[in-house]
């Protein structure tokens, strides 16, 4: 839930009806909670001026290079100040893209062929974006990122303000076609009441960051750009995935007052995660560095369920040395005290390129060399990381475990576990992101100590739906019964083996879904720290038997909408 503004911060309340008749639009609710306020529509990037003749090509190249440097510096500044590890990772990745030498070479080539700086930048970005869009998959996501970077670079070279989130001077609901990573990561939750985007899906960066920021959000809301009128109130229900335009200011004030009252009246549960009858469900947090634990109340928290290590590697042209890695890992372990810390080994590859890996491009990178598969080409990277983790763990009280991403077969899992043990790390598990691994979970757990399910990729691969596509968001919904079937399969295997099975994907942060996961037999839920209170409260409202009954009925649902409705009905006291 977002921090709602004081009533005095909102525009004056009026009984006057909105100028347009109301419209109810539906999309995917990706950030629970409700909020209402005046809509503000994010503006487009600056238009290109007419081309002009270039008298001094080298001076023009220098202008373009300065613009790229300004964009890179701005992204680095935003990354350093980003409120969440997810935001920091996304912004740092964009900064790397802006500093790509191939991009600079493309700009230089265009200027030497007569283009001015603005058109050279626009053309170079467009060429790269078209190539990536044509490649599809995760490359297509980078095409959208490049379009955003292009607008920023052109604005910089023209001396115009960077495009981005409006700043009307009062709280508002942000409406956009889609949000760039840089825009989403820098949102001020003190003024942005809620997010609504025309495009986007449940696993996109907008959804991930909205949840980590605690903002009510609806994505994939077709028609919102045509229906929303800047300055007129809209009401957003991020739990139901519903947006109403044409509401009066008084209605908007009532929505916010009702939400604020609910937040005040809701009990603030404490203690470890458990159901109403005491069945434990470990609640853990996702982090990218030790800084992400600053100010986080770890009372009742079992530890770090997902320590993403990619941030240390971003933008590096050489692999960080073992001493540097060990020092960075030790900071997280020390911050966690005597709690569990699960380290995910480097999750990179052709779809998430890191310069130092020097991996070639692939026609279908989402299905190529990524995650653990990188060790096939660069085995030394994984060994060095595992040795650094073991060395860092030896000097702290933390109970350190490691897990490998993108494991597909028992043989891969066995090999990883053996290597981890050889490096001095006896607690080794794997992530379940591939349906084949879920189906073979019992066999994988012969050697692996635990499983951790990444629901975003599991949805992508189970439903054959590109997680970056805006056209198939319904297929990427973690409420898809087929995805929950795979989660249940893993949980059953874990129960039989007496080993832990967790969820560290976005589904873990959904308070409506958490009791379902617990009822399926999931024993750990790892999420952004902000999501902990709501998930803890949701578990405490039900006994394990009620969770199990709900899970059984959800598995029998025909689609995500029916599954959600079953959970909502039970939450509201229905049968």
Asked whether residue 498 is domain-assigned, the answer is yes
Strand 23-26 relative to strand 340-344, pairing: unpaired
CA-based radius of gyration for the chain: 24
Note whether 370 and 349 are within 8 A (CB): yes
Establish whether 279 is an annotated binding residue: no
Identify whether residues 260 and 286 lie together within a single domain.
no
pLDDT of residue 483: 96
Whole-model pTM over 0.85: no
Catalytic annotation, pick one of 119, 205, 221, 490: 205
Asked whether residue 129 is domain-assigned, the answer is yes
pLDDT of residue 10: 44
pLDDT of residue 519: 97
Identify whether residues 68 and 147 lie together within a single domain.
yes
pLDDT of residue 182: 66
Asked whether residue 13 is domain-assigned, the answer is no
Asked whether residue 516 is domain-assigned, the answer is yes
Establish whether 324 is an annotated binding residue: no
Distance CA 265, CA 39 (A): 28
pLDDT of residue 3: 41
Domain final residue, candidates 105, 136, 158: 158
CATH number of 316's domain: 3.20.20.60
Identify whether residues 154 and 168 lie together within a single domain.
no
Asked whether residue 101 is domain-assigned, the answer is yes
CATH number of 119's domain: 1.10.274.10
Domain final residue, candidates 158, 185, 219: 158
pLDDT of residue 501: 98
Asked whether residue 182 is domain-assigned, the answer is yes
Q: Which of 100, 76, 294, 69 is nearest to 185 (CA)?
A: 76
Establish whether 63 is an annotated binding residue: no
Asked whether residue 364 is domain-assigned, the answer is yes
Catalytic annotation, pick one of 221, 423, 490, 504: 504
pLDDT of residue 181: 65
Structure tokens at 464: 């054959």
Identify whether residues 227 and 151 lie together within a single domain.
no
* Tally of domains in the chain: 3
Domain final residue, candidates 210, 229, 264: 264
- Chain-centroid distance of CA 75 in Å reads 18
Is 490 assigned a catalytic role? no
Whole-angstrom CA distances from 33 to 1, 174, 259, 498 are 6, 15, 8, 36
CB contact set of 3 (below 8 Å; sequence gap of 6+)? 189, 190, 214
Establish whether 308 is an annotated binding residue: yes
Structure tokens at 323: 């001493």
pLDDT tens-digit readout, 282-318: 999 998 888 888 888 899 999 999 999 987 887 677 8
Identify whether residues 140 and 170 lie together within a single domain.
no
pLDDT tens-digit readout, 157-170: 998 877 777 777 78
CATH number of 210's domain: 3.50.30.10
Structure tokens at 421: 């043990």
Identify whether residues 192 and 334 lie together within a single domain.
no
Identify whether residues 198 and 134 lie together within a single domain.
no
Q: Which of 370, 569, 344, 570 is nearest to 452 (CA)?
A: 344
Mean of the per-residue pLDDT values for the chain? 86
Identify whether residues 94 and 140 lie together within a single domain.
yes
Q: Which domain holds residue 150?
A: 57-158
pLDDT tens-digit readout, 235-274: 999 888 899 999 999 999 999 998 888 777 666 677 899 9
CB contact set of 554 (below 8 Å; sequence gap of 6+)? 479, 481, 484, 516, 563, 566, 567
Q: Which of 454, 461, 470, 316 is nearest to 381 (CA)?
A: 316
Is 205 assigned a catalytic role? yes
Identify whether residues 33 and 104 lie together within a single domain.
no
Establish whether 364 is an annotated binding residue: no
Asked whether residue 277 is domain-assigned, the answer is no
Identify whether residues 241 and 99 lie together within a single domain.
no
Identify whether residues 64 and 209 lie together within a single domain.
no
Identify whether residues 153 and 200 lie together within a single domain.
no
Structure tokens at 30: 């990706």
**Which residues in the chain show pLDDT less than 70?**
1-21, 83-86, 132-144, 181-182, 185-186, 203-205, 265-268, 315, 350-352, 468, 470, 573-575
Distance CA 509, CA 31 (A): 10
């Amino acid at each position: 839930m977002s921090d709602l503004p004081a009533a005095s911060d909102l525009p004056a309340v009026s009984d006057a009806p909105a100028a347009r008749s109301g419209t109810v639009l539906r999309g995917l609710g990706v950030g629970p909670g409700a909020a209402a306020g005046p809509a503000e529509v994010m503006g487009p990037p600056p238009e290109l001026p007419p081309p002009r003749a270039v008298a001094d090509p080298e001076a023009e190249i220098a202008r373009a290079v300065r613009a790229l440097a300004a964009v890179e510096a701005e992204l680095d500044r935003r990354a350093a100040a980003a409120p969440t590890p997810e935001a920091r990772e996304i912004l740092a990745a964009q900064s790397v893209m802006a500093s790509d030498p191939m991009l600079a070479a493309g700009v230089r080539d265009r200027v030497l062929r007569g283009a001015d700086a603005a058109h050279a930048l626009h053309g170079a970005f467009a060429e790269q974006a078209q190539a990536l869009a044509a490649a599809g998959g995760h490359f297509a996501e980078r095409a959208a990122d490049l379009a955003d970077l292009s607008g920023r670079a052109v604005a910089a070279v023209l001396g115009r303000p960077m495009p981005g989130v409006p700043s009307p001077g009062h709280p508002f609901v942000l409406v956009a076609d889609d949000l760039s990573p840089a825009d989403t990561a820098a949102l001020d939750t003190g003024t942005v009441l809620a997010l609504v985007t025309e495009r986007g899906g449940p696993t996109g960066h907008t959804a991930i960051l909205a949840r980590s920021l605690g903002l009510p959000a609806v994505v994939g809301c077709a028609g919102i750009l045509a229906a929303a009128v800047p300055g007129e109130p809209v009401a957003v229900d991020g739990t139901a995935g519903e947006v109403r335009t044409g509401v009066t200011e008084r209605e908007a004030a009532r929505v916010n007052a009702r939400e604020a009252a609910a937040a005040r009246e809701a009990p603030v549960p404490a203690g470890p995660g458990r159901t109403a009858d005491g069945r434990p469900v470990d609640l853990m947090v996702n982090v990218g560095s030790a800084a992400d634990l600053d100010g986080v109340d770890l009372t009742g928290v079992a530890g770090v369920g997902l320590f993403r290590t990619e941030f240390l590697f971003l933008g590096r042209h050489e692999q960080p040395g073992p001493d540097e890695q060990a020092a960075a890992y030790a900071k997280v372990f020390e911050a966690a005290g005597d709690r569990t810390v699960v380290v995910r080994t480097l999750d990179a590859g052709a779809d998430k390129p890191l310069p130092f890996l020097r991996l070639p491009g692939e026609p279908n990178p989402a299905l190529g060399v990524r995650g653990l598969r990188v060790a096939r080409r660069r085995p030394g990277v994984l060994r060095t990381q595992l040795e650094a983790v073991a060395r860092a763990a030896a000097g702290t009280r933390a109970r350190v475990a490691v897990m490998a991403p993108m494991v597909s077969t028992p043989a891969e899992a066995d090999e990883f576990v053996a290597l981890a043990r050889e490096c001095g790390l006896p607690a080794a598990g794997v992530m379940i992101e591939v349906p084949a691994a879920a189906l073979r979970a019992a066999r994988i757990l012969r050697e692996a100590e635990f499983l951790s399910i990444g629901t975003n990729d599991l949805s992508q691969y189970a439903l054959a739906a590109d997680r970056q596509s805006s056209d198939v968001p319904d297929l990427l919904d973690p409420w898809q019964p087929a995805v929950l079937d795979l989660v249940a399969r893993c949980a059953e295997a874990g129960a039989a083996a007496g080993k832990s099975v967790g969820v560290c994907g976005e589904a873990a942060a959904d308070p409506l879904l958490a009791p379902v996961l617990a009822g399926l037999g999931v024993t750990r839920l790892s999420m952004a720290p902000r999501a902990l209170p709501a998930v803890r409260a949701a578990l405490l409202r039900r006994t394990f038997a009620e969770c199990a009954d709900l899970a059984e009925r959800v598995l029998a649902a025909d689609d995500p909408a029916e599954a959600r409705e079953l959970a909502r009905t039970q939450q509201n006291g229905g049968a």
